Amino acid sequence: MYFDQDVSWSVFVTAFVTRRERMVENQIAARGVTSEKVLEAMRKVPREKFIPECLAELAYGDSPLPIGADQTISQPYIVALMTEQLTLQGGEHVLEIGTGSGYAAAVLAEIAGQVYTIERVAELAKSAASILAELGYENVHVVHGDGTLGCPEHAPYDGIVVTAGGPEVPESLRQQLKLGGRMVIPIGSHPYFQSLVRITRFGETEFETEHLASVRFVPLVGAEGWAGEY
């Protein structure tokens, strides 16, 4: 992005706030997201901070954007939809699989009490942790590792959100979900085409699965995901 030296930085900050509000109204609320907690979280998190500076002008467009390492930051609507489907009320214990840039973790952190987020790409984990710390998200804990195995040392979780598509629901994640908890995850037989589903745990072996939308996420790679490199 090019900044004219005669224009103060505050002008750009104001412009981003205006675009963020417009994004929430036109791309998210207008498409059916009604949770006030989610809408307010989307209004607060500066998406421009989580993408390469050269793409800052595109921060509030209705599309995913590249963030390096062949990964993307999700479309804002999808982040809002997945967050809403966890039905968070505030103060919960949440696990995110696929930190990426850290944007979705920041949105979750505006509502949840503690957010643990796992990223398999070391450079992305390091970058996300730095941005989240800079923005003051002390309740987000970034872990570098295999997200398909979850983070058992901090389980069980009220909510789990998976931001990559797997061939099936990892059993490790099922078992780390609290009774009554919800998981939102893209699942499909093709690495790049999935059904976004919500899984609710009602008992030790009792789970309910609901279809939410057809989506396209990057593949969920790991011991309980797709094998190999994508």
To the query of whether residue 74 is one of the catalytic residues in this protein, the response is yes
Give the DSSP letter string of 71-140: EEEPPHHHHHHHHHTTT--SS-EEEEE--TTSHHHHHHHTTSSEEEEEESSHHHHHHHHHHHHHTT-TTE
How far apart are the C-alpha atoms of 197 and 201, rounded to whole Å? Answer: 13
Which of 8, 63, 74, 130 is an active site residue? 74
> Could you give phi then psi for residue 217, rounded to 5 degrees?
-115, 160
Active site residues: 74
